[in-house]
């Protein structure tokens, strides 16, 4: 009887296909603006269109295992299910898949810091036999030598990748990498060059068919007391084999940062995940490969600083978005971000952040967005309108020399300055080119006892013109502006704000 795990593995990979060149993934933002000015309650929509490439059915998968001392329960689990894992991969009908195997430990005491065991093949017996040789041992200090292994896998022709097959590296372990691997280690006693995260990432991205190798990083929490974040933990916690001034060990100074697996997976359009139960390692390998190969989970979100403005993201997620079956095709998904202006405030509000889209929980693209909201004041005031400018202006009764009337007033409208009505502009030819002059004012001794009278600049509006009016004159504390051109037909929308 076929085991449940084998049935699940075969089902996950029954139509195994591979996303084409990573560079073909695109995100288009509409409108492609960076600054959005939102009045209270005003909404605007930004659409992100994510397009993913079609599939090819030829891939070389390389299983790279940490075989240092703490990995015993994980390695035992993989070995117990080796036949299941290999069968699910190499016997998938209709797909040209090959699998390679290797393992890593660390410098300077392990004779094989990276052991390349089997080049990509369909020989299930050879693959199972290689996995069954894994024994947890060695490693020395805490951080390990996987950067050396990843570099060799990317650059050494002896690994045996096919030139026209997409490379996928499934890397699992419980400890971060030494960063850098010292030059004397790379040269096995003769200084060569250091291998750091940047070099490893660049080689993974540049070597191989279809945009380089995709890395699936699976952190296993086999050393929870030392490395609770496994592959993403702090790589400098335990590096005494490389750098220990107290004991005179100074091969090269550590410089790595936590989050290595997440960054490498993101840079190679792969997946970074973590398991707690060693018994889940085989299922996780199959599931993550299925996510990379046959479908994509596409999500959208916003940085926390934009949360007050994000009314909705529709939809927030596409689960198992099926990829097309030919490389020439693409599948696209849309996210609609609706931004809304928050309640009015006495001060101008400006915040910057980003809207984001991800594929398989790995960031794909982000758009920098700055949202601004002018300060608004809802005190009672006046809007003056006239058919000509008052020149020279006149000092308002009870005001000081800066409180000037700029408009020869024909109409006075009492209103709340924070919510000037929007006036309809009819589609009448007689309005084309017609000019009006506006000014706003307030007299509020309760709020402003020291300077109760405030007036704005003057504003000349020409109906039918594609502009935001012409400001003129001076002000004594208010700013009058037009928010959009007064087209025919259209609206006249003015805004009077405290400065």
* Domains along the sequence of the chain with CATH: 25-53+297-373 (2.60.40.10), 57-293 (3.40.50.410), 380-498 (no CATH)
pLDDT digits (tens, 9 = 90+) for 117-154: 999 999 999 999 999 999 999 999 999 999 999 999 99
State the pLDDT confidence band at 17, using cuts at 50, 70 and 90: very low
pTM of the predicted protein model:
0.61
Cα 142 from Cα 178, distance rounded (Å): 9
The predicted structure's pLDDT at residue 1: 35
For the chain, what percent of residues have pLDDT higher than 90?
67
- Using the structure block, give the residue that is written with the tokens 């599939």: 55
Give me the pLDDT at residue 346, please: 60
Q: Does residue 201 or residue 20 have the better pLDDT?
A: 201
The bridge status of strand 478-482 relative to strand 458-462 is unpaired
**Whether 9 contacts 86, CB under 8 Å:** no
241 near 108, Cβ under 8 Å?
Answer: yes
- Count how many Cα atoms sit within 13 Å of the Cα of residue 108 in the half-sphere of its side chain: 17
| pLDDT value at residue 94 | 57
Q: Residue 94 and residue 18: Cα distance in Å, rounded? A: 12
Whether residue 9 has pLDDT greater than 60: no
Q: Is pLDDT at 172 greater than 60 in this prediction? A: yes
- Would you say residue 415 has pLDDT above 70? yes
- Contact between 70 and 223 (Cβ < 8 Å): yes
Query: What is the reported pLDDT for 451?
Result: 92
Confidence of residue 20 (pLDDT cuts 50, 70, 90): very low
Instruction: Give yes or no for residue 164 having a pLDDT over 60.
Output: yes
């Amino acid at each position: 009887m076929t085991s449940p795990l084998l049935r699940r593995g075969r089902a996950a990979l029954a139509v195994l296909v591979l996303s084409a060149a990573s560079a073909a993934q695109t995100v288009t933002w509409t409108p492609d603006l960076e600054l959005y000015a939102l009045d209270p309650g005003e909404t605007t929509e930004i659409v992100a269109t994510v397009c993913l490439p079609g599939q090819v059915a030829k891939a070389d998968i390389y299983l790279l295992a940490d075989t240092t001392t703490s990995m015993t329960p994980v390695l035992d689990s993989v070995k117990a299910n080796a036949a299941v894992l290999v069968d699910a991969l190499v016997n998938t009908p209709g797909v040209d898949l090959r699998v390679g195997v290797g393992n890593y430990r660390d410098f300077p005491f392990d004779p094989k810091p990276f052991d390349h065991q089997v080049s990509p093949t369909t020989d299930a017996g050879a693959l199972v036999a290689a996995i069954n040789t894994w024994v947890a041992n060695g490693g020395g200090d805490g951080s390990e030598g996987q950067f050396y292994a990843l570099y060799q896998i990317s650059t050494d022709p002896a690994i045996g990748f096919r030139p026209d097959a997409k490379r996928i590296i499934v890397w699992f372990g419980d400890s971060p990498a030494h960063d850098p691997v010292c030059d004397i280690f790379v040269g096995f006693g003769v200084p060569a060059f250091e291998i750091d995260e940047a070099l490893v990432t660049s080689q993974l991205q540049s070597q191989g068919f279809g945009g380089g190798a995709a890395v699936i990083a699976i952190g296993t929490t086999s050393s929870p007391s030392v490395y609770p974040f496994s592959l993403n933990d702090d790589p400098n916690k335990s590096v005494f084999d490389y750098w220990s001034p107290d004991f005179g060990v100074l091969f090269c100074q550590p410089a790595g940062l936590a989050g290595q697996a997440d960054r490498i997976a993101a840079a190679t359009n792969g997946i970074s995940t973590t398991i707690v139960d060693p018994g889940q390692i085989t299922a996780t390998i199959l599931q993550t490969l299925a996510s990379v190969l046959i479908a994509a989970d596409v999500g959208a979100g916003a940085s926390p600083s934009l949360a007050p403005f994000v009314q909705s993201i529709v939809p927030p997620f596409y689960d198992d978005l099926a990829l097309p079956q030919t490389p020439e095709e693409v599948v696209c998904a849309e996210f609609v971000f609706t931004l809304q202006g928050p309640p009015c405030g006495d001060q101008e509000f400006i915040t910057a952040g980003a809207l984001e889209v991800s594929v398989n929980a790995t960031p794909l693209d982000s758009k920098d967005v700055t949202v601004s909201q002018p300060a608004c004041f809802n005190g009672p005031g006046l809007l003056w309108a006239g058919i000509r400018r008052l020149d020279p202006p006149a000092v308002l009764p009870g005001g000081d020399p800066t409180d000037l009337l700029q408009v020869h007033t024909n109409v006075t409208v009492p209103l709340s300055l924070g919510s000037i009505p929007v006036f309809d502009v009819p589609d009448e030819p007689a309005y084309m080119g017609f000019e009006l002059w506006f000014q706003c004012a307030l007299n509020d001794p309760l709020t402003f006892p020291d300077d109760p009278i405030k007036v704005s600049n003057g504003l000349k509006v020409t109906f039918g013109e594609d502009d935001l009016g012409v400001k003129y004159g001076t002000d004594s504390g208010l700013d009058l502006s037009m928010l959009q051109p007064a087209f025919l037909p259209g609206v006249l929308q003015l805004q009077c704000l405290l400065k």
